[in-house]
Copies of this chain bind each other. A is one copy, B any other.
Amino acid sequence: MPLLWVICAMDERDAVLEANQAFYEAFALGDMPAMEAIWSTGQDLACIHPGWQALVDRNAVMESWRSILASPPPVRCIGARAFVNTTLAHVICYEGIGKGMLVATNIFRKEEGGWRVIHHQAGPATSVQEATPPSDSRVH
């Protein structure tokens, strides 16, 4: 496996994790402009908040965030793992909110400005397991 290829793949994974962190910082700070910026400007967006109906298209997704960020929860991202496939990537992570715990899937697309969220789902988790890398992880 060429070293340069491995380094590039690792860089992309770091870049995705940085974008994921930016998403949670906007979330915790109630920073709606930052939240708008971290999501893709495409219309093909979807979002599934815990216990909500699935929201489809950018307007519906952003409206939901405006509502949530009016009283932002003290959310922190825990144990994020990124899976990169060329220009698409997804992250799984836990969301700690007080003593509660959710688990999330965030999908990112590499666009001109960088990695942008195109999908988010969060739902209840019973406990946190420290994720360990699979023995034969395939990173594209």
Contacts and interface: CB of A to CB of B under 8 A. Distances in A.
Chain A, interface residues (CB within 8 Å), range: 35 or more
A57 B136 CA distance: 8
B48 A105 contact: yes
Interface stretch (A19-27, A31-39, A68-76, A87-95): A87-95
Contacts of A44: 83, 134, 137-139
Interface string A41-55: 011111010111110
A43 B132 contact: no
Contacts of A81: 46, 54, 56
Interface of A: 42-46, 48, 50-54, 56-58, 81, 83, 85-88, 90, 92, 94, 103, 105, 107, 109, 118-119, 121-129, 131-139
